């Protein structure tokens, strides 16, 4: 999970982000003409009939399955298992999952990482990105399963993809599961964090694809059973306004509260690249980065609240971006 400004993790060495790219599974905007799609995953399954309502029971089951895998730091076999689970669930709903694979330089040396991307085509090729991370923080001396911090965002995105797939939309939506959001050692020193989002932005810049990326919505730590999401002052103000207005409209303003916080997270590389971005995050969570971030401290109701607010806000965000 992201660090609020002024919060220091354990001391350690911070290093830059590696730029080695696997030549497979690149997003559609990144591929050169004639390039292979590579490691995309589509299984010949017939998805069950689905409604377009966000279903928190489905989302919470994804969360539960991810937590059952255990700690899932970037580069670990457990995160590979989590990635396989997410891919299977998305493929079962008829989605093609693109793998954006790269090698990052961590304080412990090179680490292979993979962002997962699902594209929902719209009437326009301009893109609205909705993302969250699926890795957990590395803790050598404790078992950290990240029920809210890692599993909640990954699970919500799977269900959100299902809920949105048959809805009409003007913009093309990209849903992305970022790898390597968590610091291996120390968030505050250098670039030991947000590996996946920083790589995505660098790749988009190299492919001259940033101009078509109109906005980015980030979800992180949204499973807290006592959900209180504050406005992040690092986020784009109008995106905060639109989302908070949607929360008021559907009667969830007691969970999207009018207090402010300042957060560094996977939205920051997009902000720095000039892309409007917003972070929906509940940092008022005593179990943050402790073994108690488990199933007893998260709830399906919180996932339902965030899912409903996003579904309500997206048409208004599209209208603003098109206008």
Which of 197, 212, 215, 229 shows the shortest CA–CA distance to 309?
A: 229
Q: According to the model, what pLDDT value does residue 190 have?
A: 77
- pLDDT given for residue 27 in this prediction: 57
- Which pLDDT score is estimated for 52? 76
Question: Rounded to the nearest 5 degrees, what angle is found at the Cα of 173, between the Cα atoms of 170 and 175?
Answer: 165
Q: Nearest-CA neighbor of 132 among 317, 288, 269, 267?
A: 267
As a dihedral over the C-alpha atoms of residue 75, residue 79, residue 85, residue 87, rounded to 10 degrees, the angle is -30
- Cα(182)–Cα(210) distance, rounded to whole angstroms? 24
pLDDT on residue 323: 84
User: In the chain, which ranges are continuous DSSP H helix?
Assistant: 56-69, 77-92, 153-164, 195-206, 237-249, 268-272, 300-322
d(CA 93, CA 108): 37
pLDDT in 10s for each residue of the chain, 323 residues? 665 543 322 222 233 333 333 333 445 444 433 333 333 333 333 333 345 799 999 999 999 999 999 999 999 999 999 999 999 999 999 999 999 999 999 999 999 999 999 999 999 999 999 999 999 999 999 999 999 999 999 999 999 999 999 999 999 999 999 999 999 998 877 789 999 999 999 999 999 999 999 999 999 999 999 999 999 999 999 999 999 999 999 999 999 999 999 999 999 999 999 999 999 999 999 999 999 999 999 999 999 999 999 999 999 999 999 98
Residue 220 φ/ψ, nearest 5 degrees? -160, 135
Beta-bridge partner residues of 90: none
pLDDT of residue 4: 52
3-class secondary structure, 181 = coil
Q: How would you class 253 by CB atoms within 10 Å of its CB: exposed for 0-12, middle for 13-18, buried for 19 or more?
A: middle
pLDDT for the residue 300:
98
The closest of 232, 235, 225 to 286, measured between CA atoms, is 225
CB-neighbour burial class of residue 211 (10 A; exposed 0-12, middle 13-18, buried 19+): exposed
Task: Note the pLDDT of residue 102.
Answer: 98
Confidence at residue 286, expressed as pLDDT on a 0 to 100 scale = 96
The answer to whether 241 and 227 are in contact (CB under 8 A) is no
Whole-angstrom distance, CA of residue 62 vs CA of residue 84: 12
Phi and psi for 86 in degrees, rounded to 5? -60, -45
Q: What is the pLDDT of residue 35?
A: 32
Structure tokens at 189: 């020193």
pTM of the model: 0.87
The pLDDT of residue 43 is: 35
Could you tell me which residues come within 8 angstroms of residue 159 by beta carbon, excluding any fewer than 6 positions away? 54, 55, 56, 58, 59, 62, 303, 307
Domains detected in the chain:
29-44+53-322 (3.40.630.10)
């Amino acid at each position: 999970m992201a660090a609020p400004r002024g919060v220091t993790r354990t001391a350690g060495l911070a290093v830059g982000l590696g730029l080695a790219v696997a030549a497979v599974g690149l997003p559609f905007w990144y591929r050169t003409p004639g390039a292979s799609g590579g490691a995309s995953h589509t299984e010949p399954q017939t998805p069950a009939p689905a409604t377009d309502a966000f279903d928190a029971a489905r989302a919470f089951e994804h969360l539960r399955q991810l937590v059952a895998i255990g700690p899932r730091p970037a580069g670990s076999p457990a995160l590979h298992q989590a990635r396989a689970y997410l891919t299977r669930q998305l493929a079962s709903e008829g989605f093609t999952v693109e793998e954006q694979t790269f090698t990052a330089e961590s304080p412990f040396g090179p680490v292979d990482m993979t962002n997962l991307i699902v594209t929902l085509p719209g009437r326009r090729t301009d893109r609205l990105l909705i993302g969250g991370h699926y890795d957990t923080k590395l803790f050598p001396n404790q078992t950290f399963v990240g029920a809210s911090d890692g599993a909640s965002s990954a699970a919500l995105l799977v269900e959100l993809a299902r809920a949105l797939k048959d809805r009409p939309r003007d913009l093309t939506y990209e849903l992305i599961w970022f790898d390597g959001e968590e610091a291996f050692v120390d968030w505050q020193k250098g670039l030991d964090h947000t590996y996946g989002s920083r790589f995505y932005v660098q790749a988009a810049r190299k492919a001259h694809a940033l101009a078509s990326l109109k906005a980015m919505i980030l979800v992180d730590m949204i499973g807290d059973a006592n959900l209180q999401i504050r406005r992040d002052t690092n986020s784009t103000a109008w995106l905060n306004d639109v989302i908070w207005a949607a929360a008021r409209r559907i009667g969830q303003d007691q969970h999207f509260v009018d207090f402010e916080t300042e957060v560094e997270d996977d939205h920051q590389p997009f902000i720095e690249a000039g892309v409007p971005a917003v972070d929906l995050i509940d940092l008022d969570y005593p179990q943050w980065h402790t073994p108690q971030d488990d199933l007893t401290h998260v709830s399906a109701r919180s996932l339902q609240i965030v899912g409903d607010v996003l579904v309500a806000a997206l048409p208004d965000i599209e209208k603003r971006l098109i206008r």
